[in-house]
Amino acid sequence: MKNSNLKSLLMPAVVLFAVCLVWTFLLACTNSITAPRIEQLAKDNALAARLELLPEAKDFKRHEARLNGETYEYYEGVDKAGQTTGFVFTTSANGYGGKIKVMTGVSSDGVIQKISILDISETPGLGMNILKEENIGKFAGKSGTLTVVKNKSNPAGNEITAMTGATVTTNAVTTAVNTALDLYNSVKGGNGNG
């Protein structure tokens, strides 16, 4: 009788172990098939984002730069002749809802071409409004060190008007863009190429 009870107790455990083993094998096989495709898709999306920020570039060369003790990866955009058309920097800063990751396209003469928000978790209806073209577009054509101003309908050269109710978000994006501009100055000064 004891043998029968032991068998009835062990059998479900053995079956469960076998099922888990089979599922683990199937998941590993699926991952080995899909992982390279996912990696390639991520590379394609990153290239498309860089091309959107620097459309005159035909290729990008990866580099590293150090700024304030931190290492940043950046891309140098080049045309068909291999001439530099600009740079793409990915930086981040703390917003209201967490880190905001920004990709900034800077021309070879230090002017912001365009920015793209890569990662953001701000308040819907307030901070998330930074994703609207009217707010992202405020950065294009600016250079130097940017500052955030409130309630100013016609900001001066390097000023960015804060979004109503989302000054923290505007400050965070501006800080990330300023870091990109600092990296540009470091790279152009010869201190950042890696």
Q: In 79-158, where do the E strands start and end?
A: 84-94, 99-107, 112-119, 147-149
Task: Answer yes or no: are the C-beta atoms of 131 and 90 closer than 8 Å.
Answer: no
Per-domain boundaries in the chain: 1-53, 56-188
pLDDT value of position 106: 96
pLDDT band at 192 (very low <50, low <70, confident <90, very high): very low
Range 138-167 burial, b when 16+ CB lie within 10 A, else e = bbeebeeebebeeeeeebeeebbbbbeebe
- Does the structure show a pLDDT above 90 at 189? no
User: The tokens 């050269």 sit on which residue?
Assistant: 157
- Does the structure show a pLDDT above 50 at 50? yes
- Does the structure show a pLDDT above 60 at 190? no
Mean pLDDT confidence for 52-71: 92
CB atoms within 10 A of CB 83: 11
Q: Which pLDDT tens digit goes with each residue over 150-169?
A: 887 777 888 898 888 889 99
Q: Which pLDDT tens digit goes with each residue over 69-128?
A: 999 999 999 999 989 999 999 999 999 989 999 999 999 999 999 999 988 888 888 888
Task: Answer yes or no: are the C-beta atoms of 73 and 62 closer than 8 Å.
Answer: yes
What separation, in Å, do the N-terminal and C-terminal C-alpha atoms of the chain show?
Answer: 74
